[in-house]
Amino acid sequence: MKKVTGLGGVFFKCDNPQSMNEWYAKNLGLPTSQYGTTFEWRQDDDPSKKGSTTWCTFPQHAESFKPSTKPFMINYRVENLVEMVDELRKDNVTIIDEIAEYEYGKFVHILDPEGNIIELWEPADEADEGSAAE
């Protein structure tokens, strides 16, 4: 089973997210909003398929990074999140929450051995493709 298929996003805590977004927009040209920015791209092996990677700032008190105490979270794109979570459980990986489904995909959070929170994301378009193949 193919596991990680790419980088879904980079999220980090800062003292003033709005100010940071403005700095990145002014100095690096990122077209930021209150939700950061999204980089769209096409898949190398099938240019008809689109993908995206998100960059987003969070306030220092953001709850979504817990139980990690680190100021960042990496999101990885994956195929077949349900199957992957089953494999992670077998390997005694710490799974923080249950799989959540939204119109844009499925998500779950895990911890690596050093307590870094990792968000796994199966985009809706990839989930639909997987369902069609089954």
Q: What is the pLDDT of residues 85-118, one digit of tens each?
A: 999 999 999 999 999 999 999 999 999 999 999 9
The model carries a pTM of: 0.85
Domain of 54: which CATH number? 3.10.180.10
CA 23 to chain centre: 23
pLDDT grade, residue 75 (50/70/90)? very high
Q: Which residue has the higher pLDDT, 76 or 134?
A: 76
The pLDDT tens digits for 25-38 are: 999 999 999 889 99
Count of domains observed in the chain: 1
- Domain holding 65, by residue range, is 4-133
pLDDT grade, residue 2 (50/70/90)? low
d(CA 127, CA 117): 23
- The secondary structure of 46-101 as a DSSP string is -TTSEEEEEEEEEETT-GGGTT--SSEEEEEEES-HHHHHHHHHHTT-EE-S--EE
pLDDT grade, residue 18 (50/70/90)? very high
